[in-house]
């Protein structure tokens, strides 16, 4: 084999390693997306079996996080990537951590579903769970799509959607507090709803982080701790 | 300058870059440690001025996170570290993210202190805040110490302390729920205590993450999602 062919071979292998990182992240993302959907459904439909499934799958998500992070470290050590390749590896390492945390929150929601089922019918707040659940699921879906297409504009939209999730969360919290004060016997069940909404809000935050990692990956800009309008003008003005 | 001298010079600069990452992380850690201490004190002593200070300092912590993460990326791109140097850079990048999140939680506690002050005297739960606050502060202190000394055994102790924080958190939550049911008028104030305890529990989780990063750095083992006794036997058996 002459040197050029050997080089090509090495580069092809390197490229396929980078592609594998993307593919594995998207696969993990798909599992977590389903986990969140199932968790929200398990609350809405009082489905303890589905909740158990969400909890069981968490071990797989944990293993994927550790394996993918290990893959990233190996590529860093063996390929010593620079520029956009380096950004891809770092972004994947960060995103896998956010995805794992999102899976954790889905698991917490599933535990709340089981706890709600055990204590019988639940107080108001289901509509908020459904509503926030839909918003958050859309965010996750769009974030994974933005990553698959390296689409920074779409990532900005994901970051913007998180503002709406935060607003819905605050308004649902206020309603829930009023509810608890009016009917103190419902407090322990209302708390399950409260933790569920909190978990959804946290999933929204992690999804926003993923959006920020995508912008870093595509545009090379660190947009953490910036307002959405700042991020937008930076991304579009680039 | 002959080649050997040039090499030495380059290595010295590289070493000092790695040292700078450690120093900056410890400086950031010191600020966050103080932020947590001040946040807990601002609740205990109903000190809104101190709470405002905690909130103000958050911008500085955010900037440090972005700068330190940028430094890590630069070292990766320019020095292409391997083995323990690579682990140091990756561990610092991860720890800075945890520290920033801990600062966020301290800021949330400070906001609760202000909210509690505005609504007058607060219900039971202060002792739990003080108690959990002390546990968590010790964890943070020991974690930073373990990093400064590259001490994996001490990092295991930090991970173990998080179990105690989790137990205290659960017991304090139960007490708070009973309190709310007995006196529904106290609900909104009790919720401030609840979110404070939650933030302390989250700080404990992030500190445990830092302990795990230290074990990865010193021993090259990924111990995420493992039980403390597993981690201990791995670290000691190494």
pLDDT in tens, A20-76: 999 999 999 999 999 999 999 999 888 999 999 999 999 999 999 999 999 999 999
Of B82, B94, B224, the CB nearest to A66: B224
Assign residue A224 the CATH number of its domain: 1.20.58.220
Give which of B185, B200, B209 is closest to B110, Cα–Cα: B200
Can you tell me the mean pLDDT for A170-181?
90
What's the mean per-residue pLDDT of chain A? 92
CA distance B192 to B203: 17
The 10s digit of each residue's pLDDT in B205-219 is 999 999 999 999 999
- When pLDDT is cut at 50, 70 and 90, the band that residue A121 belongs to is low
B104 pLDDT above the threshold of 60: yes
pLDDT mean over A203-230: 96
pLDDT bracket for residue A2 (50, 70, 90): low
Give every CB contact of residue B134 below 8 A, 6+ residues apart in sequence: none
Is there a contact between A69 and B185 if contact means CB atoms under 8 Å apart?
no
Query: What pLDDT digit, counting tens, does each position of A62-100 carry?
Result: 999 999 999 999 999 999 999 999 999 999 999 999 999
- Taking CA–CA distances from B224, the nearest residue in chain A reads A66
Chain A to chain B Cβ contacts (< 8 Å): 65
Task: Supply the pLDDT for residue B30.
Answer: 98
* B169-202 per-residue burial string, b: 16 or more CB within 10 A, e: under 16: beebbebbeebbeeebebbbbbbbbbbbbbbbbb
Q: According to the model, what pLDDT value does residue B37 have? A: 97
Give the contacts of B167 (CB within 8 A, at least 6 positions apart). Answer: none
Nearest to A80 among B69, B80, B187 (CB): B80
Query: What is the average per-residue pLDDT within B76-94?
Result: 95
**For residues A180 and A193, what is the distance between their CA atoms, to the nearest angstrom?**
11
Query: What is residue A159's predicted lDDT score, i.e. its pLDDT?
Result: 97
Shortest Cα distance from B80 to chain A (angstroms)?
A: 5
Q: What is the mean pLDDT of residues B155-178?
A: 95
> What pLDDT shows up at residue A46?
87
Residue A123 has what pLDDT?
45
Supply the range of the domain harboring residue B69.
3-237
Q: What are phi and psi of A85, to 5 degrees?
A: -65, -45
pLDDT for the residue A185 = 85
What pLDDT sits at residue B122? 53
Domain count, chain A: 1
Structural element, H or E, at residue A41: helix A3-44
Check CB contact under 8 Å for A77 and B77. Answer: no
- Determine contact: A67 vs chain B, CB below 8 A: no
Please tell me the distance from the alpha carbon of residue B70 to that of residue A11, in angstroms, as a whole number.
27
Mean pLDDT value of segment B99-108: 98
**Interface ipTM above 0.90:** yes
Q: For residue B184, give the nearest of A192, A191, A177, A195 by alpha carbon.
A: A177
């Amino acid at each position: 084999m002459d040197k050029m062919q050997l080089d090509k071979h090495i580069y092809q292998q390197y490229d396929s390693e980078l592609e594998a990182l993307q593919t594995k992240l998207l696969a993990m993302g798909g599992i977590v997306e389903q986990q969140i959907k199932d968790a929200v459904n398990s609350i809405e439909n009082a489905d303890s079996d589905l909740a158990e499934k969400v909890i069981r799958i968490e071990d797989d998500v944990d293993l994927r996080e550790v394996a993918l992070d290990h893959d990233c470290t190996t590529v860093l050590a063996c390929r010593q990537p620079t520029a956009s390749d380096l950004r891809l590896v770092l972004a994947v390492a960060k995103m896998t951590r956010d995805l794992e945390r999102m899976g954790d929150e889905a698991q917490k929601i599933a535990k709340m579903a089981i706890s709600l089922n055990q204590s019988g019918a639940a107080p108001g707040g289901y509509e908020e769970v459904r509503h926030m659940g839909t918003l958050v699921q859309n965010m996750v879906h769009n974030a994974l799509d933005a990553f698959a297409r390296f689409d920074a504009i779409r990532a900005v939209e994901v970051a913007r959607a998180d503002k709406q999730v935060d607003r819905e969360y605050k308004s649902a919290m206020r309603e829930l507090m009023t509810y608890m004060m009016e009917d103190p016997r419902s407090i322990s069940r209302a708390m399950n709803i409260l933790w569920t909404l909190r978990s959804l809000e946290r999933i929204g935050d992690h999804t926003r982080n993923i959006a920020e990692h995508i912008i870093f990956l595509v545009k090379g800009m660190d947009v953490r701790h910036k307002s959405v309008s700042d991020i937008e003008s930076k991304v579009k003005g680039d």
